[in-house]
A = this chain, B = another copy of it.
């Protein structure tokens, strides 16, 4: 205020740029931006207020764009700690993230929120937390924590918690599950936002939204996008998966105020290949959206949806001084990034020190097997006297709505059901990270050797392990537990590759090149185990997502064994 009134000089002044005004969707020339204490003080028409100490930044040739605001993001999916993640995403212009915290909350409960907020202290990148609505993800899984209405009410009192993160368990929602609805109610009562996930087409969309859910991140076509918008749903486009929708929405000439955008999930190595929200913004422009409108989606619209437009999303008095310098709006390559009033990156490189802090004890050693597993833990017993059994074998890629489970015949030796590697049938297990038990089954995934275990398992983040031998499965799981979390590839009793993810069993604060090299090696070694079936170029990443229980699609393996997630009935692995 005092700077705007000319009573004291600004810390910094930016001149000669063209300001992208996301409120009116116009360009603004000939202004001076005064910055004080990390916030914008004034958009001035003259520079008379500058003092001798004022730092002057010449933005000639650049458009000045508000720092990008990601409406829905999971830092955990990068495998990097929040501060390490900020180091690599700030240069792409992401100055604010709305973090969906269910990964870390499923392993640490409200301590996960605490960690995110502590990490973000003093960070130029703002992290607002969407509290997990999915702890546990569904009633069918056991996660290491519980967040119900009471816990939500508590967490929502924190200023850094901006609402409730992606409600996604359709079945529980439509069944009126008490825990989930009480979390939604806490969100609505707090005046904060309740986010959705994968909101279906009408008429289920109406039911979803009628519960108080406000939004969804979106991959789909234009007709569905419009149907959701018409129903008052804020749409967080994932442009890479919504190219057709963008073209159709542009053609329909809609008002875009209820549309935003997000990255959602992106592992570290993909960030360094593609970029971050800037990449999604470029896709919108490629698909015909006016660049200034595209910028609105990635800034003001996201900020308004989350009710943080007084803090971020626009270069205007009182807001954080988060400003991108961009030579060409159509190409949308970020040249320089200001966050909280400081230039933090130039030409893709960080220009400030973002020190990595010692991870606090409460986020470490979160894998709590009571004792090391043995081969006995993975035995599947046949009914007495049988030489073969029928088995419900999981399909290669059963992350889909219409793949039935496969019934296969498997041999029995010494009353134990055997794999059938000749038909690609592996054993698979989910081991509770709190040491409370495990579920075992079969999966037609095709590894001919070894085992792959990991403590990243959406969304419970128990330990999943798949393998061609029980002994390699044992070794892999025990190694993951010893590391306090991570990914391990074992072949013939030997650890071939491993990545430590000691923070909540999900993240590391090691430098990016080391993490990328480690993940590359993991994928290479996994490929050498010959996974035959459909897991694509990145079998390890696929394994992290394939045990989601929130979609009512059929039979899924959980830590309690196979479950039909359409009706909650357990399904025998063999009979």
Are A207 and B5 within 8 A (Cβ)?
yes
Interface string of A244-267 (1 = CB under 8 A from B): 000000001011011000000000
Give the distance to chain B from A156, nearest Cβ to Cβ, in Å.
9
Q: A44 at interface (Cβ–Cβ under 8 A)?
A: yes
Contact of A24 among B23, B191, B229, B316 (CB under 8 A): B229
Instruction: List 15 A-B residue pairs with CB atoms under 8 Å apart, sorted by A's residue number.
Output: A1-B207, A23-B232, A23-B255, A24-B258, A43-B231, A44-B203, A45-B202, A45-B203, A191-B191, A209-B318, A210-B318, A231-B317, A232-B316, A232-B317, A257-B304
Those of A27-64 within 8 Å (CB) of chain B: 28, 34, 39-45
Say yes or no: A25 contacts B254, CB within 8 Å: yes
Known: A45-B202, A203-B42. A230 touches B4 (CB 8 A): no
Tell yes or no: A117 within 8 A of B by CB: no
- CB–CB A307/B28 < 8 A: no
- Which B residues are in CB contact (< 8 Å) with A19? 230
Contact at B210–A41, with CB atoms within 8 Å?
yes
Nearest-neighbour CB distance to chain B for A216, whole angstroms, equals 13
Given A232-B23, A232-B314, A257-B257, A4 and B207 contact (CB-CB distance below 8 Å): yes
Q: How far is the CA of A232 from the CA of B316 in the complex (A)?
A: 6
**Is A402 located at the chain interface by the 8 A CB criterion?**
no
What 9 A-B pairs have minimum CB-CB distances, sorted nearest first?
A: A232-B316, A42-B206, A4-B207, A4-B206, A25-B255, A257-B257, A209-B317, A24-B254, A210-B317
A309 to B257, CA, bound (A): 13
Instruction: Please report the C-alpha to C-alpha distance between residue A28 and residue B45 in the assembled complex, in whole angstroms.
Output: 44
List chain B residues, Cβ under 8 A from A24: 226, 229-230, 252, 254-255, 258
Give Cα A202–Cα B230 distance, bound, in whole angstroms: 37
Is A212 interfacial (CB-CB < 8 Å)?
yes
Among A286-315, those with CB < 8 Å from B are 296, 304, 307, 309-310, 314
Q: Give chain B residues whose Cβ lies under 8 Å from the Cβ of A204.
A: 4-5
Contact B318 A230 (CB under 8 A): no
Residues of B within 8 A of A309 (CB): 214, 232
Q: How far is the CA of A41 from the CA of B204 in the complex (A)?
A: 11
Which residues in window 218-250 of A have CB below 8 A to B? 226, 229-233
Total contacting residues, chain A, CB less than 8 A:
63
Q: Known pairs A43-B206, A44-B206, A191-B191. 16 more at Cβ < 8 A? A: A1-B207, A5-B204, A6-B203, A23-B232, A23-B255, A24-B229, A24-B258, A26-B254, A42-B207, A159-B189, A209-B316, A214-B309, A230-B316, A231-B317, A232-B316, A257-B304
A111 to chain B, nearest CB (A): 23
Q: Does A74 contact B (CB under 8 A)?
A: no
Q: Which residue of A3, A191, A214, A229 has the most chain B CB atoms within 10 A of its CB atom?
A: A191
Residues on the B chain within 8 Å of A252, using CB: 24, 26
Q: Is A472 interfacial (CB 8 A cutoff)?
A: no
Closest residue of B by beta carbon distance from A188: B310
- In the assembled complex, the CB of A71 is this many whole angstroms from the nearest CB of chain B, namely 15
Residues on B with C-beta less than 8 A from A212 are: 310, 318
Q: A24-B252, A191-B192, A232-B318 are in contact. Are A206 and B41 (CB under 8 A)?
A: yes
Given known A-B contacts A25-B254, A206-B44, A1 and B232 have beta carbons under 8 A apart: no
Kindly state whether residue A174 has any CB partner on chain B within 8 Å. yes
Give A448 Cβ to nearest chain B Cβ, in Å.
Answer: 46
Task: Check A202 against B44 for contact (C-beta < 8 Å).
Answer: yes
- Asked if A21 is an interface residue, CB under 8 A from chain B, the answer is yes
A427 on interface, CB distance cutoff 8 Å: no
With A4-B210, A189-B159, A255-B23: A231-B310 Cβ-Cβ less than 8 Å: no
Q: Across the interface, which residues of B come within 8 angstroms of A28, CB to CB? A: 230
Asked if B255 and A296 make an inter-chain contact with CB atoms under 8 angstroms apart, the answer reads: yes
Residues of B with C-beta under 8 A to A192: 191
Q: Which residue of chain B has its CB nearest to the CB of A44?
A: B203
Q: Using CB atoms, name the residue of chain B closest to A212.
A: B318
- Cα A189 to Cα B190 in complex, Å, equals 12
CA distance A189 to B159 in the complex (A): 7
Name which of A2, A43, A318 has the most chain B CB atoms within 10 A of its CB.
A318
Cβ B25 vs Cβ A202 within 8 A: no
CA distance A230 to B20 in the complex (A): 9
Taken together as a complex, chains A and B put the C-alpha atoms of A188 and B191 apart, in Å, by 13
CB distance from A500 to the nearest CB of B (A): 38
Separation of A316 and B5 alpha carbons in the complex (Å): 44
Q: How far is the CB of A426 from chain B (nearest CB, A)?
A: 39
Interface residues of A in 308-330 (CB under 8 A from B): 309-310, 314, 316-319
A307 — which chain B residues lie within 8 A by C-beta? 191, 307
Cα–Cα distance between A233 and B309 once the two chains are bound (Å): 10
Closest to A213 in B: B318
Interface string of A176-208 (1 = CB under 8 A from B): 100000000000111110000000001111111
Measured between beta carbons, the chain B residues less than 8 angstroms from A232 are 23, 309, 314, 316-319
